Structure 1
Amino acid sequence: MESSITEHDLHKSFRSPPRRRRSTFFERRDSLVPQPLSENVDLNLCIKATDNKEKHNQDLLRYYNKLLDEKEQWKKEVKNRRNKYHDLKQQYQIAAKAPNRSRLSYSALSNDDIEFLKAKVGISKLVDSQLKLHKSIKQTYALFRRATELDDIILSNSEDKVKKITEHILDNSTLEPDV
């Protein structure tokens, strides 16, 4: 009977895989690369490396904080502008619906905006005078360019006449030129 049990165990072992052992992958092993000896390690290099890492981490943290501050500032600015735009839009809709076309209220505007709107009449005059000045400068430049062209034409024409007169005098003179 003992032999039959062992045969049975043998047949059983062929049918099922052997029991798994615990993995040895995570066990500590000696590395193939030689470990640095404590006498070969330069402590100054280690200290410099850690100092550089700390400085780098501090710089990154400072930059991150600056970016966060800037992000918060942009959020506030967008919110302020959105609120101002919304108020102006509501005022415009109210004024557009009003039958007497009443003026917009200045409650949503800052003092600078109000001063700008009040001075708007002067701006149109300023723009007109700027356009006139620009047009007169262009005309003056065109006249100056044409004057220099005419000056060149008159100068070359005068030189041609002087040259013809000089040639005529030399051709018709009785005195021989000194050569």
Structure 2
Amino acid sequence: MTRTHSEAFKLKMVKLYLEGGASFNRISREFNVDRSLVRRWVTRYRHHGLKGLEPATKHHYSPSFKLHVVKCVTRDGLTDRQAEARFNLRSTGLIGKWLVQYHSGQLTKPLSETKRAAPMAKKSVDLPPADAPERSLSQDELIEELLYLRAENAYLKKLDALIQKEKAAARSKKRKRSKG
């Protein structure tokens, strides 16, 4: 069950922290509130004042706003938490969804063409083939490609490490059997 906290309560926690009287951990223990919540309230308050502490409401963001957030995240290298605080979003999960929409091309289409994606639909990133003739790419396209290649590289490294670990375990198992 989720609890909602009043603006006055949130403001009290923020003031305790900002006045230097208590750490996130102390406030969290003393008032039985998750540490990350207190940190989130402080960050929102720093960025937006009292408006950042208002209760969450259902909000529909325009495709142009989503595109602006995604471009800021990729251009400035913001974490989801930083972007959530900067743009006063109510969930870090929104940014991941918007990145998927951006990579699938949904955020660049006019509003009338965008359709809600099926839940848990797999999205693929369409990159130009490696042997395609060189063309000048925009900075956003280069950043997008770089992020994709970094993720692919990290995935392959982890896969290779897993394979090596399994091979080592199999060799070790083989040795134990041959000794016994």
TM-score by length of 1: 0.28
Going by fraction, where is helix more abundant, 1 or 2? 1
Greater RCO, 1 or 2 (C-alpha within 8 Å, sep 6+): 2
Structure label with greater radius of gyration: 1
